[in-house]
Amino acid sequence: MRSLVGLVITLLIVFAGYKLFFSQLQATGSAAPARSIDVAGVKGDLIAIAQSERIYQSEHNTYGTLDQLTSSGAMSMSKTGRDGYTYDAEASASSFRVVAHCPAAANPGCTNLAIDETMDVRSVQ
């Protein structure tokens, strides 16, 4: 009888742990993986734009705006954003900076990303 009570208590503890684990797993939802995919796509776009800046700079001896990159053929990507992010480029003769602006109101917790001539994607304010 004592071993049966011990077995029932052990099963109740295992079941409670199982239920707690899976209830927390469902509570996190699927937004985190989707946000990670969005950010990976934005980073890929920033790298592609930066590579287009290098092509444009080698042909024109200066860096260009997004419109100049597209019209010259250095960049084939015609979209100005991805999944709520919008892209903006600042260019001069010796440097460029492309920023992916995140809509914080629509996606709480997201950050703006930027890339420059160092080809390093960074979080910015």
Q: What is the pLDDT of residues 69-93, one digit of tens each?
A: 888 888 887 677 777 888 999 999 9
Residue 22 lies in a domain: no
pTM over 0.85, yes/no: no
Phi, psi of 53 (to 5 degrees): -60, -40
Instruction: Output the pLDDT for position 57.
Output: 93
Per-residue pLDDT band for 116 (boundaries 50, 70, 90) equals very high
In single-letter form, the type of residue at position 12 comes to L
Report the SS3 class of residue 94: coil
Query: Which two structure tokens, joined as six digits, stand for 102?
Result: 């995140």
Kindly give, in sequence order, each residue whose CB lies less than 8 Å from that of residue 16, ignoring residues fewer than 6 positions away.
none
Residue 16 lies in a domain: no
Average pLDDT over residues 98-117: 84
Residue 21 lies in a domain: no
Enclosing domain of residue 103: 32-124
Residue 65 lies in a domain: yes
Residue 54 lies in a domain: yes
Instruction: Output the pLDDT for position 62.
Output: 93
Number of domains in the chain: 1
Q: What is the pLDDT of residues 3-61, one digit of tens each?
A: 888 888 888 888 888 887 777 665 545 455 556 657 888 899 999 999 999 999 999 99
Residue 48 lies in a domain: yes
Per-residue pLDDT band for 109 (boundaries 50, 70, 90) equals confident
Site of tokens 């997004």: 66
112 Cα distance to chain centroid: 9
Instruction: Output the pLDDT for position 106.
Output: 67
Tell me how long the chain is: 125
Query: Which two structure tokens, joined as six digits, stand for 30?
Result: 């699927």
Instruction: Output the pLDDT for position 35.
Output: 61
